[in-house]
Amino acid sequence: MKRMLVIHGPNLGLLGKRQVDVYGKVTISEINKDLKAIAKSKGVALEIRQSDHEGEIVELIGASPAKFDAVVINPAAYTHTSVAIRDAIAAIDIPVVEVHLSNIYGREDFRQKSLIAPVAKGQVSGFGAMSYILGLEAAIYLTAHRQS
Ligand code: DQA
């Protein structure tokens, strides 16, 4: 059975209450429920973590190849600032899919640059909660079609 890790970055625990005009009313629990249903229907194991702490996210990524086949991450604000998270992703050899609820390329200038995108397998941005679903589907596809 393939094993997937979903990481929600900082402030995503506040979804549903936070800038609803940008992120919508969907809560992290609702997103997680949908992800779990998809994982179940696809026969993959899923672990979901949320952290507001850069170092904790670095540690989760670093430990992930021992336990998981792919990672889906919304690095949130760290997308635009964290060389440490980028380096952690570059250091591992399992596929990492970057997701964003909002379309970061249609927002403020500082959000239009992702330090993560060059080291991620790919990115899904702008589809609200659906970005996570597409990201998980991509991760499952990538692990099923992985060479070696
Ligand atoms: C976000 C976009 C980031 O710019 C922002 O800091 C977030 C959420 C998104 O999912 O749209 O916290 O990653």
Domains identified in the chain and CATH numbers: 3-104+115-144 (3.40.50.9100)
Of residues 146 and 42, which shows the higher confidence score?
42
Model confidence pTM above 0.85: yes
Identify the residues whose C-beta falls under 6 Å from ligand 1.
11, 74, 76-77, 79, 100-102, 104, 111
Distance CA 88, CA 34 (A): 27
Q: What is the DSSP letter of 148?
A: -
- Mean pLDDT calculated for residue range 42-64: 98
Those residues with Cβ within 8 angstroms of residue 132's Cβ, 6 or more apart along the chain or in another chain = 6, 31, 34, 35, 72, 74, 99, 101
pLDDT value of residue 147:
58
Catalytic-role residue among 23, 78, 132, 141? 23
CB atoms closer than 10 angstroms to residue 31 = 24
Closest approach atom of ligand 1 to CA 9: 12
Q: Which two tokens stand for residue 143?
A: 């692990």
Q: Which two tokens stand for residue 39?
A: 């994982």
Q: Are strands 3-8 and 96-100 parallel, antiparallel or unpaired?
A: unpaired
pLDDT band per the 50, 70, 90 thresholds, residue 148: very low
Q: How far is the CA of 100 from the centre of ligand 1 (A)?
A: 6
pLDDT value of residue 61:
98
pLDDT band per the 50, 70, 90 thresholds, residue 89: very high
pLDDT value of residue 115:
98
Q: Which helix H or strand E contains 131, and what residues bound it?
A: helix 129-144
pLDDT value of residue 116:
98
